[in-house]
């Protein structure tokens, strides 16, 4: 099984390293040919507007929407990736690019600027003990539709959720040594192969 990391901008190498540590074939996705070969795709943190524009320029956005919509591609968006996956970006700029995959409404940079980044121990619905979550200019899920499973919350709001073959987190699991969230996503990829 191949799991890809969108490699147009953002924290690509860290996700690839985590996937390799989970014993799956990890590939950088830069074109439609590679995108067609993967069972799962991680959309990393970075700058959501830039990533969204590059998805359109490289002709990847429509293929991600189609494959995810058909249920034969699992997608995991972290931080900026979560923003791109949202059906609604509450504070987006005019013409804000998005994939619109999940029935969630997000607020970009909900936790403030870069200097307000933080780590916290986070209770996660499917894990028996907390994970360390790193938040960097992180978004938050303000609203989630009825088909969305809430996996983790902070007092400010929802920070991780799943909707079928779609997974989103406000934080950066690739910046810790904990592989559980990547392993969870790999299990999702196998479910939807």
Cβ contact 96:106 at 8 Å: no
- Active-site choice (172, 182, 189, 191): 172
Q: Decide if 174 is catalytic.
A: yes
Cβ contact 29:62 at 8 Å: no
- Active-site choice (14, 18, 79, 182): 79
Q: What angle do CA 183, 171, 76 make, to 5 degrees?
A: 45
- Active-site choice (14, 18, 174, 182): 174
The Cα 152–Cα 129 span in angstroms is 12
Q: What angle do CA 120, 130, 114 make, to 5 degrees?
A: 20
Q: What angle do CA 184, 185, 191 make, to 5 degrees?
A: 95
| CA 43 vs CA 76, 121, 129: distances in Å | 6, 23, 25
Q: Decide if 79 is catalytic.
A: yes
**Could you list the active site residues?**
79, 172, 174
């Amino acid at each position: 099984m191949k799991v890809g990391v969108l490699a147009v901008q953002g924290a690509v190498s860290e996700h690839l390293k985590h996937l390799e540590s989970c014993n799956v074939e990890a590939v950088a996705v830069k074109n439609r040919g590679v995108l067609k070969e993967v069972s799962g795709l991680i959309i990393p943190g970075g700058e959501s507007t830039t990533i969204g524009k590059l998805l359109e320029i490289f002709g990847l956005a429509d293929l991600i929407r189609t494959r995810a919509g058909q249920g034969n591609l699992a997608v995991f968006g972290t931080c900026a990736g979560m923003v791109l996956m949202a059906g609604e970006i509450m504070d987006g700029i005019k013409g804000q690019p998005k994939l619109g995959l999940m029935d969630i409404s997000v607020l970009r940079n909900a936790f403030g600027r870069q200097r307000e980044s933080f780590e916290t121990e986070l209770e996660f619905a499917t894990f028996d003990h907390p994970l360390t979550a790193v938040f960097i200019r992180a978004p938050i899920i303000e609203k989630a539709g009825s088909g969305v499973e809430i996996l983790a919350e902070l007092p400010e709001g929802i920070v991780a959720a799943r909707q079928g073959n779609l997974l989103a987190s406000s934080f950066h699991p690739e910046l810790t040594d904990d592989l559980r969230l990547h392993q969870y996503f790999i299990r999702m990829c196998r479910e939807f192969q």
